[in-house]
Each structure stands twice: as C-alpha cells, then as structure tokens.
Amino acid sequence: MPHTSLAYFTDLVIKHFADVFYFDLGRYLIAAGAATILLFVFRGYAKHRRIQKRRASGKDYMREVLSSLRTVFFFGVTTMATLIGVETGVIRFAEEEASVFIIALHFAAIVLVHDAYFYWAHRAMHSKLLFRATHLHHHKSRTPTPWTAYSFSAWEAVIEAAFMPLFLLTLSLVGSAMAGFAVFLFLWHMIIRNVMAHAGHEIFPAGWVDNPLTSWISTTTHHDLHHSHSHNYGFYFTWWDKWMGTEHPRYKEEFRKNAKPLPIPWPKVWSLKGRRAEQISVMISLLLAASATMGLWSGAGTLALA
C-alpha cells in the first residue's frame, strides 16, 4: 500500500538524500574525470583533435565545477521527488523482471523523448525572455571542457532535472510503466554523452558525418559550434536541427577539419608530460573519480527503494 504520511516522507528524505546526491555527483565526477584523464594522457591525439584555439582558464574550470555541484543538488531533489512518487504510487515502474529486448526498447524511448525535450527546452532558453536568467551561465564556458557538462544556472538545472520525473509521471498517468534498469542505463548514457559533447576535442572518428549510418548522431564539434557560434540546439541527434533549420551551415566542414586522421605514430599519441596545472587537474580527477566510484555503491541502492 502506498505511503502517504508527512513523517514518512520526511524520514525518507533525511535518510536517503545524501545517497541520492552522491549517486548523481558520482556519475558526473566519473564521466568528467575520466574524460579529463584520457585527454591528458593521450595528448598527441587531443592536440591534433582540438576544436578551438582558445583554452579554458583556471577560473573557467572553477566556475564549472562549483556550479555543477549546484546542478547535482537539483538533480538530487528531482530524484527524491521521483522516489516519493514511487512510494505514493503516482509513479510506477514495471514490477516483473524485464527482458533485454524490453530494457533496450524502454531505453531507446527515453533517449528519443529526452532528445526532443532538450531541443525545445534549449531553444526556449535561448529566447530573449529566458536566456539571461537560465542559459547565460552555461555559455560563460565559451571553450567547453568535460566539466562544463553540468555547469548550469539554478533555473537551467531545474529545467534539465525536471525531465525524468515528468517523463515517468506521464507514463504512469497513461497506464504504462518503465523498466528500472532502462532508467539506470539512461542516466549513465546522458552524462557520458553530455561530457563527450563538451570535451573540447573531436572524439568521434573521421568520416562520421559522411556515413548515413552515423551522420544523424551528433558529435563533439556539433555542440562545440553551439558554444562558439550558436546554432545546433540538439543533444544526442541532429534530426531536430535539420528539421527546424537550426544546424550550423558549416557543421560537416568543421567536423572534417577537426577529425582528420592522426599523422603521428600510435605510440606517440600518449604522454604523461604537460603543464603543472594540467598534471594537478588530472591527479584531482583521479581522486574524485575513485571516491565517486566507491560512493556509487551506497547511492545506487537508493534507486531500488520502492
């Protein structure tokens, strides 16, 4: 029977908000930290695939990390709202164990709906009415880094975080239920693709935009152009930008320029040398990612409260 007492929900929040917060923080730290480490170690590759000449400053990194903590807080709030919805019976998950096919189907549905939600929310936040209050903070990162992924204002964090409880609530209202593991996979997919979009270096292989099997999947260059030249409001796919005429006219040309094959022997694409600031950032990323990995063991259990 669904729980309804205020005391029960208060106790639920007190007991589990820290775990929920750490789960969302852990995903961010692991994804952004791993990208930072890989781009540092494979410096030859990264240098050849760098998209912008401008480099992010130390102040940029500091702003991104601090504002990302605020974003994680709001993601934690919406995760708790989802769990409370489950406890009250307003939000339903599939009770029976789902097959691989059902999980894949549900995962694809979340990704497709989220891509549409992101495109239109993103375009709305670029309107004169909303831009300064919601999206300006994110665009302070003119040269994105992996840590830009969650660098949102409070209002944008709310808009981004609201998707999951709204999606699950809508499904429940129409009598459907989502497989819990599909949601888990989506959360990881979302942060990984987010970090990839803000990596600052083209990490997709040459020829990606010229192959009909892959050209509809957005690349790092696709979103980087949004930060430097506007256009390109989509997230996972290029469909909405093509349909609505908002794709950057030189997108494919810029991608080809950024994704040229490496002209150096493979053993020389990696190095542990670099500026002291870069070495320190990698060490911190290692510590954060390791800490987050351990913390996920406690946070992950919260998803199964219901």
pLDDT digits 0-9 by tens, 251-275: 999 999 998 776 655 445 444 454 5
Whether 137 contacts 156, CB under 8 Å: yes
Burial category of 280 from C-beta neighbours within 10 Å (exposed 0-12, middle 13-18, buried 19 and up)? exposed
- How do residues 148-188 score in pLDDT, each as one tens digit? 999 999 999 999 999 999 999 999 998 888 998 999 999 99
Q: Residue 146: pLDDT band by 50, 70, 90 thresholds?
A: very high
pLDDT > 60? residue 282: no
Distance CA 51, CA 48 (A): 9
Question: What is the pLDDT averaged over residues 32-39?
Answer: 87
Question: What is the pLDDT averaged over residues 109-134?
Answer: 97
In which residue are the tokens 């993601």 written?
75
Question: What is the pLDDT averaged over residues 125-141?
Answer: 96
For 237, the 3-state DSSP assignment is strand
Question: What is the pLDDT averaged over residues 113-137?
Answer: 97
Question: What is the pLDDT averaged over residues 3-7?
Answer: 65
pLDDT > 50? residue 18: yes
- How do residues 182-224 score in pLDDT, each as one tens digit? 999 999 999 999 999 999 999 999 899 999 999 999 999 999 9
- How do residues 40-83 score in pLDDT, each as one tens digit? 877 777 888 999 999 888 899 999 999 999 999 999 898 888 88
Burial 200-226, CB ≥16 within 10 A → b, else e:
bbbbbeeebbeeeeebebbbbbbbbbb
C-alpha distances (whole Å) from 42 to each of 1, 37, 59, 270, 283 are 54, 8, 24, 4, 15
Question: What is the torsional sign of CA 97, 100, 101, 105?
Answer: positive
For 178, the 3-state DSSP assignment is strand
- Residue 260's pLDDT is 77
Whether 33 contacts 285, CB under 8 Å: yes
Distance CA 76, CA 173 (A): 23
- Residue 292's pLDDT is 53
- How do residues 87-116 score in pLDDT, each as one tens digit? 888 888 887 788 999 999 999 999 999 999
Whether 49 contacts 258, CB under 8 Å: yes
Question: What is the pLDDT averaged over residues 281-296?
Answer: 55
C-alpha distances (whole Å) from 247 to each of 104, 175, 201, 229, 234 are 29, 37, 19, 11, 9
- Tally: H helices and E strands in the chain: 12, 0
pLDDT > 90? residue 288: no
- Residue 267's pLDDT is 43
